[in-house]
Amino acid sequence: MPMREAFPSLDEAPDCPAPQPYPLGPTRYAVPPGAVDTHAHVIGIPPEFPFVRPRSYTPPPATAEDYLAMLDATGMTYGVLVQVSVHGTDNRLLLAALRAHRQRLRGIAVIPLGLPDADLAALQEAGVVGLRLNVLYGGGVGLQEVEAYGALAREMGWHLQFLLDARDLPPVATRLARLPVPVVVDHMGHFPTSAGLDDPGFRTLVSLVRDGAWVKLQGAFRNSTAGPPYADTIPFARALNDAAPDRCLWGSDWPHVATWGPMPAIGDLLDLMADWVPDPARRRKLFVENAHSLYGFPARI
């Protein structure tokens, strides 16, 4: 499977901007109690937390405290931290954030195969509930050994999360569908809307979701080719939600790394959900019931 990168891998990768300050919640509906942001990152400062080389971007720091402040400001109850690509398989910062906020955060790690049982147990104890395989940016783990990762995830009671371009799905979809654990696809397949609803990759993604995979309805600012307010993403999100309303999730993608156009506002991304998932009952499923089922959050904090 060819690797698609959003930007060239450079030893000295370009700096990307910080997220918008002073986040706000949506104006078109109320975020339901217990809502989960299923996709965000914490980012450390080298040399304590080195960045991988090569990589495709250089992000500013993003602390767990800043992330929790964003959750509070936007009405979200829980969050899921995903190991950021620039830290590779060094999950130390992710685990520190999880341990400091056990009741409120869960984590998705990036690890090599062959870790000692004690290291795997430490990940689980900290609140890791899944592994990410990333084929788009430097520092990730690709699909070469996806079956071995599936076996490990099954043993640990975890799921597998994939950052890939849906246009690359057709030749690997059968392998993903056969994995013995839940499969989660980031960013609606990180798929440019200009390719169209009938693109074979997007149709494969819809079929994969209909047949059992999970999908994160997120990343409008990455997938849109029209730009804000990202209206061109609406039919894609609706197609995925119609395919499996019980397996759709929402993520902020804070702090929006590798974003070179207009920096999105969290409130605008949340407001877009009123168009992506117009039915309030389905929207509550996406924010609360679906996410609680996959990530194991308690009913209340």
Closest by CA position to 216, among listed 193, 175, 192, 183: 183
Q: Does residue 31 lie in a domain region?
A: no
Residue 29 in any domain: the answer is no
Q: What is the pLDDT of residue 7?
A: 41
- Within a domain: residue 14? no
- The pLDDT assigned to 6 comes to 45
According to the model, what pLDDT value does residue 261 have? 82
253: annotated active-site residue: yes
Which strands make up the sheet holding 248-250, listed edge to edge? 36-40, 78-82, 105-109, 128-134, 159-163, 183-185, 214-217, 248-250
pLDDT of residue 12: 67
Residue 204: domain span: 36-295
269-274, long-range: CB < 8 A, 24+ apart: 269/218, 269/220, 269/221, 270/25, 270/26, 270/31, 270/74, 271/26, 271/27, 271/28, 272/220, 272/229, 272/230, 272/233, 273/26, 273/29, 273/217, 274/26, 274/28, 274/29
Q: How many residues in total does the chain contain?
A: 301
Residue 9 lies in a domain: no
Inside any domain, residue 25:
no
Q: Does residue 125 belong to any structural domain of this protein? A: yes
Residue 111 lies inside a defined structural domain of this protein: yes
Element (H, E) at 105: strand 105-109
List 15, 253, 268, 279, catalytic entry = 253
Q: What does the pLDDT read at residue 256? A: 97
- CA 230, CA 220: separation in Å to the nearest integer? 6
Report the chain (301 residues): mean pLDDT per 10 consecutive residues: 42 85 97 98 97 91 98 98 96 98 97 97 98 75 88 98 95 96 97 97 98 97 95 98 98 95 94 98 98 89 51
Domain CATH number, residue 154: 3.20.20.140
Whether 51 is covered by a domain: the verdict is yes
Domain count, the chain: 1
Q: What is the pLDDT of residue 9?
A: 43
List, in order, residues 6 or more apart from 81 with CB less than 8 Å away. Answer: 40, 41, 42, 64, 67, 94, 97, 98, 105, 106, 107, 108
